[in-house]
A and B are shown apart, each in its own frame.
Chain A
Amino acid sequence: MESPIQKIMVYIDGTEQSITAAQYAIYLARFMRADLFACYIINTKALDDLLKASIFLKEEQLEYEHDLEEDAQRYLNHVREMADAKGVHIETKSVTGSVHQEILTTVTDEEIDLLVIGELSRIRSRRDEFYNETERAMRSVSCSVLIVKDEDRVYDLFESLV
């Protein structure tokens, strides 16, 4: 019987939680023999908003975009190295735009069966419910979503792969 999960996408955002999610996604991809795809979204929508709000100068917007591009490459390279070390093939991609919208678009374009994301921040205010981009994506994405918790257990699972 064919596995119900053929292609997994892990969302990387430069947090430790997203690296834990990547470890779990690598474990799952190996276990299920699924294709693995890692995506980092450079939040240019937020940079545009900061410029419009006059919090950023134009030169700052460009500087931070460059910083975020470097951050994306650093984290995606790290995830690629983790996957390579466990013998799992991985495709990586960084895209620009609104986090929420680009997650939805990428899931559709890449025909993803399962989106893996890191543990979400606790909801501490009603504002969080509206503004957390990853949570918005989780609610509206077309595929199933797995939220990875228990960093220690995930690390042990990841390390158990030989």
Chain B
Amino acid sequence: MALVDLITEDVVKVPLAADNKPALLREMVQVLKDAGKIDDFDTVLQAIQDREDKQSTGLEKGIAVPHGKTSAVKSLVIAVGVSNEGIDFNSLDKEPSKLFFMLIAPPDQPGPHVQALAEIAKLAKSPAFLNILIKADSAKAVVSLLRDE
């Protein structure tokens, strides 16, 4: 399944309210919970946190890709968030992260997880498009941009 098929308005939050990393991770997991994509908030948050503990997933140019594996989900789920102010995510370029793609996948379905991450990696190579996404003012705008790029 293509990345855009998984990103619907109910899993996109613009703007994010969090102003620090732990709050951001909780807020995005809550987006998935509110959208009915996950049941076990704590297990999913722990999977994401475990990965962040090894090394931050904050990349360059304002994008971060927190991700993890847990059997608490039956298939790959994705949340997207935009922070207007940016959050210190200990990113590679030390700049605040503003655009977040959170992915959680079950351990026995590595294919879709890798495919989705690879699509995001390709997006991350386009600074111009990332800038447009970061300036999106609504969930609807984010979904529309991802589908129409």
Which residues of A are in contact with B by a Cβ distance under 8 Å?
A: 13-15, 43, 46-47, 49-50, 53-57, 59-60, 64, 67-68, 71, 121-122, 124-128, 131-132
B23 located at the interface, meaning its Cβ lies under 8 Å from any Cβ of chain A in the complex: no
Tell me which of B1-9, B13-21, B36-44 binds A: B1-9
Among B67, B111, B123, max chain A CB count under 10 A is at B111
A151 to chain B, nearest CB (A): 15
B35 located at the interface, meaning its Cβ lies under 8 Å from any Cβ of chain A in the complex: no
Within 8 A of A (CB), among B89-144: 92, 107-115, 117-125
Main secondary structure of the interface of B (DSSP, over half): helix
| With A68-B111, A71-B111, A131-B119 as contacts: A126 and B65 at CB distance below 8 Å | no
**What B residues does A55 contact at CB under 8 A?**
57, 59, 65, 67, 117, 120-121
Q: In the complex, A128 Cα to B149 Cα: how many Å?
A: 10
Residue of B nearest to A56 (CB): B117
Given contacts A43-B114, A122-B2, 19 further A-B contacts (CB under 8 A): A13-B111, A46-B114, A46-B115, A46-B117, A49-B118, A49-B121, A53-B121, A53-B124, A55-B65, A57-B55, A67-B107, A67-B108, A68-B110, A68-B114, A71-B111, A124-B2, A125-B146, A125-B148, A127-B4
